[in-house]
Structure 1
Amino acid sequence: MADLEFARGTLKAQPFSELLGTRLTEFGDGGATLELDVRDELLQQNGFVHGGVLAYLADNALTFAAGAAAGTNVVTAGFTIEYLRPAVGVTLRARAGVVRAGRSRVVCRCDVLVLDAEGAETPCAAAQGTVSVLS
């Protein structure tokens, strides 16, 4: 299993994650938490965080959670996301955990939350995905 600093290095090696400023705040024991500060460039025309940003965050959190359980050689096989409410706030937080880890596939769930200026969390999306373990 990889540790938090190794996992942060993996995130840093993703140019898109670097562009967005994504942070890995928790990693291990079949779970991972990613955070991203909300800024104007991430909003859609109504002032909400764009759904693609929420999906990106869920996808990465699901895969990092799987990596915490199955090792670092994993890729997303697929995921679904349900948008629960518009995301308006200062920070996004995606918390993912493993539901079941097999030899070749890992199933994970993720809650995407938006935090206000005081740190109160509001759920804005929920995702479930399957991550493939590469040989």
Structure 2
Amino acid sequence: MTMDEAWKILLKHDYKRTKNRDILLRFFDQVDRYVTAMEVRNAVEQDNPGISFDTIYRNLAVFSRLGILDETELNGERLFRMQCASDSHHHHFICTTCGNTKSIPSCPMDQVTVNLSDYEIEGHKFEIYGRCPRCIE
């Protein structure tokens, strides 16, 4: 997802273009990994010292709900990253130490849906958690 695409989505849903939203989107545009709301706050408070944690968290929730950010939960904490630009269906390995991700092109749903022939599947999410080679060393 590009910043232009993110702004189109926000404006389409009647969200105004604000300095805080712009700072948050620029941060996610530059960081290609999952981050916590606290990491976001620590990074963006240099550009905007008055930004509150509530403002950050509220905007992250809006971005996630609108599909601008991808969200996962690890150890009871929400983590966010910019939505993938890829049009192809894929999943992720997520490093529990540094938050970096690696795309997994295959999908386990083909095997799962065999046992769900009478069910209507509305969506799914598949993630693998562990440590990347850099964090293992």
> TM-score normalised to the size of structure 2?
0.30
- Give the number of the structure with larger relative contact order, counting CA–CA contacts within 8 Å between residues 6 or more apart: 1
Query: Which structure has the larger Rg?
Result: 2
More helix by share: 2
> TM-score normalised to the size of structure 1?
0.30
